[in-house]
Amino acid sequence: MQTSSLKKLAQKCKLGAAALLTLDTESKNGTLRAMAAELRALSRAIIKANRQDIKAAQRSGLQRHLIDRLLLNDQRIDDMARGLEEVANLPDPVGETVSQWVRPNGLKVERVRIPLGVIGVIYESRPNVTVDAAGLCFKSGNAVFLRGGSEAIHSNKMLGRILQEVLKKKGIPPEAITVVPVTDRALLKAMLKLDGLIDLIIPRGGEGLMKFVAEHTRIPVVRHDKGICSIFVDESADFDMAVSIVENAKVSRPGVCNAAENLFVHEKIASSFLPRLVERLKKDGVEIRGDRKTASIVKGIKRATAKDWTTEYLDLILSIGVVNDIDEAIGLIRHYGSNHTEAIVTKDRANAGKFVKSLDSSCVMVNASTRFNDGGQLGLGAEIGISTTKVHAFGPMGLAELTTTKFVVHGEGQIRS
Amino acid sequence: MQTSSLKKLAQKCKLGAAALLTLDTESKNGTLRAMAAELRALSRAIIKANRQDIKAAQRSGLQRHLIDRLLLNDQRIDDMARGLEEVANLPDPVGETVSQWVRPNGLKVERVRIPLGVIGVIYESRPNVTVDAAGLCFKSGNAVFLRGGSEAIHSNKMLGRILQEVLKKKGIPPEAITVVPVTDRALLKAMLKLDGLIDLIIPRGGEGLMKFVAEHTRIPVVRHDKGICSIFVDESADFDMAVSIVENAKVSRPGVCNAAENLFVHEKIASSFLPRLVERLKKDGVEIRGDRKTASIVKGIKRATAKDWTTEYLDLILSIGVVNDIDEAIGLIRHYGSNHTEAIVTKDRANAGKFVKSLDSSCVMVNASTRFNDGGQLGLGAEIGISTTKVHAFGPMGLAELTTTKFVVHGEGQIRS
């Protein structure tokens, strides 16, 4: 595929976006439900396309857990279909009047929620992202330009074709959901140059992909980047609660961005709290790395290096530091953290307030696990990811975060003096 | 100045941002008022510094209207001071709970408005931008990294020094308002590489500057770009109203982004409406360019070329086209426009609704002049500019648009299953 054909695809996608502007909620929901039905009806074809990806992955010696991420079966296809039905059931953000007022000269000013236009999603591996992202973008009135990884290309193309067929049947330009049919880096670069056609790029993937995207585009990017999430256990913390929150934040799913990586403990409780905590974490198979004070309380652990405090392990490793007070904890979290998710365990309301106010992370928890920083868990419905970019949307991005607002002004002939 | 010193400046600015997080509204307002008083008290020093810029501009043969933009006098210094006082009187967006709800597991979820962090403002010529931008950023809890043009460097440095002195007296890190003391392009490039230190770049200036910024940064950019604003005069329009709106939109201040550049007229009224309109516009000194149908009604005008429909004249020139119906007008506006501001003049409510829904411009006017797309006119208080980027903030950006939201979650020990 040539750069010029890619541009044509994107132009058609943009025309699709214009058509979505005037679709009402009922037709969007009906279309999403029809897509779900069609995925289930065509599961054989999907699995057949997926098998090509799996075989290629096996031939190229891809690691087994990556092959598993790639695999589609009836259960996973049904999950995708249910995902679309859930999105159909969510409220439509488009057209909502966010606020309105009347100016002294009689102008009626409204801020109305509108789609962003065309959203470019760049992702790796899991083919379910194709359907999830298409569903969220469609419901929020956006056309989507989907560029998945080469390892899932047959699955993604088949899924894209099925969704497009449904759009066609409903009289909607099928290019409103476009799966880019090629995956080489040169063409990714060309896609990143389509400013004027793509309004927002959402990259989902490893650090290499993030960097590549940021380097090569002038289109606004909302990053879904790593989480160096920290917990501070304050002097007044309930020990049972603190142990359970730290364990949950570290152990329940260590490979995700809202898992905890660093723990800071108030020194007044360190010698009584840490042994209890470490006993539990060792049973969970967690490796502890600690600062000097921690190492003097918990024997036989590795010392945490500067690198440990800034590494997202995505693994059963936890770095622990003992701090003089909440201010030191806040300072260290600001220094080492990535503004993703932090938690404090405390009974002291003033300290909770200070912690919340001093940390500008996308989600700050008081007496709850960092694992709750997730669109579903926080009640946004579905999410397209967790933004670590402060601009536009910070934290979990649901349907509303895929929109913007415009001003609508009604007058009776007013002119400006 | 070296790249490394610039980075150190930005690091200090970021530390300043951390200090602003915990400032309360009263101290911010008091500081803004003290800044205003200090500007008035030190007007001699400001005018002296400004005179250096004026002399250099005269020596280098800068055009007279550009020198005028550069000039500071008592009146203009008082205007800047009053601007700061007005910002002090606006409500503080920071800390506002935008929405809140309780999850089935008892978690209390809030979305709270927080500052963005460090905002980089890149601008040209007018030294008042230094004070205006510093005031808006400070009130919204953001540190600001101000990079003005070389032609205003002495004025900007003096203004920066005065604002910093006030911060120091109030016990606030002075670097929260930093005027970058050098203006060469190499260092601008270095500033654009400060991701991790600067959260948002706001460029204000000509197309060359916009392009340079977009080319060289990975930091999110909210563009304040050109306005190809259009008006559609519908079949049912009140002619007097239409004439007055078109005249106001074109003539009242042709050099600004919300002035109208293109006009589309319904063909059913074209032959009766256009002569009336053109008679008025000719008196205002407006040059008309028209499509074939317009030229057959209005004799002796230049034909509008493809380039005319996409040019922001910033001058007394208007391109006029006659369209079959509202759909053609919408299609042309989508094709040629820049998503800035559009207006329809109509008595038909259905057509007004269609126009509003089909155009995703930052502001859509029904029976009002395009010139109202402005933070002050729409009631946002002050504005830092009019964003043409859909992402983050679209249209006039006031204080709230210089913030983001984070999630704050209060629990009683909840963990995720």
Give the DSSP letter string of A79-130: HHHHHHHHHHHSPP-TT-EEEEEE-TTS-EEEEEEEE-SEEEEE--S-THHH
**CA gap A259, A314 in Å, rounded:** 8
pLDDT tens digits along A286-329: 999 999 999 999 999 999 999 999 999 989 999 999 999 999 99
Closest CA to B197 of B21, B19, B13: B13
**What are the domain boundaries of chain A?**
3-225+395-410, 229-377
Yes or no, beta carbons of B372 and A406 under 8 Å apart: no
**Neighbouring-strand partners of residue B303:** B290
Predicted confidence (pLDDT) at residue A223 exceeds the cutoff of 90: no
Q: Identify the CATH class of B3-225+395-410.
A: alpha beta
**CA gap B186, B188 in Å, rounded:** 5
Predicted confidence (pLDDT) at residue A125 exceeds the cutoff of 80: no
Residue A391 to residues B15, B133, B144, B188, B389: CA-CA distances in angstroms?
19, 18, 15, 21, 12
Closest CA to A370 of A342, A334, A340: A342
Q: Are A3-225+395-410 and A229-377 equal in CATH topology? A: no
Length of chain A: 417
pLDDT at B157: 98
Average pLDDT of chain B to the nearest whole number: 96
Give Cβ neighbours of residue B337 (< 8 Å, ≥ 6 apart): B228, B229, B230, B262, B359, B361
CATH numeric code, B229-377: 3.40.309.10
Yes or no, beta carbons of B392 and A21 under 8 Å apart: no
* Chain A / chain B CB contacts < 8 angstroms: 221
pLDDT at A65: 82
Neighbour-count burial for B340-375, b at 16+ CB within 10 Å, e otherwise: bbbbbbbeeeebbebbbbbbbbbbbbbbbbbbbbbb
Residue pair B240/B280 in contact by the 8 Å Cβ criterion = no
What are the start-end ranges of the H helices in A284-410?
A: 292-297, 306-309, 326-336, 349-358, 375-378
pLDDT at B293: 98
Query: What average pLDDT does the segment B45-65 reach?
Result: 95
Predicted confidence (pLDDT) at residue B125 exceeds the cutoff of 80: no
**CA gap A94, B357 in Å, rounded:** 10
How far does the CA of residue A208 sit from the closest CA of chain B (Å)? 15
Place A253 in a pLDDT band, splitting at 50, 70 and 90: very high
The token pair at B202 is: 């706001």
Closest CA to A16 of A197, A284, A160, A259: A197
The partner residue sitting opposite A404, judged by closest CB among B241, B390, B409, is B390
pLDDT tens digits along A40-88: 999 999 999 999 999 999 999 988 888 998 999 999 999 999 999 999 9
Residue of B nearest to A98 (CA): B98
The partner residue sitting opposite B252, judged by closest CB among A109, A218, A416, is A416
Place B382 in a pLDDT band, splitting at 50, 70 and 90: confident
The token pair at B110 is: 């809030």
Yes or no, beta carbons of A215 and B218 under 8 Å apart: yes
Residue A98 to residues A330, A407, B114: CA-CA distances in angstroms?
35, 10, 19
Residue B26 to residues B30, B40, B98, B115, B136: CA-CA distances in angstroms?
6, 21, 21, 16, 15
DSSP conformation class of B221: B
The beta strand positions in B58-175, using DSSP E, are 97-102, 108-115, 118-122, 143-147
Residue A64 three-state SS: helix
**How many C-beta atoms lie closer than 10 Å to residue A25's C-beta?**
15
**CA gap A215, A241 in Å, rounded:** 44
Yes or no, beta carbons of B379 and A22 under 8 Å apart: no
For this complex, say whether ipTM is above 0.85: yes
CA atoms within a 13 Å half-sphere pointing along the CA-CB vector of B336: 28
The partner residue sitting opposite A366, judged by closest CB among B22, B379, B410, is B410
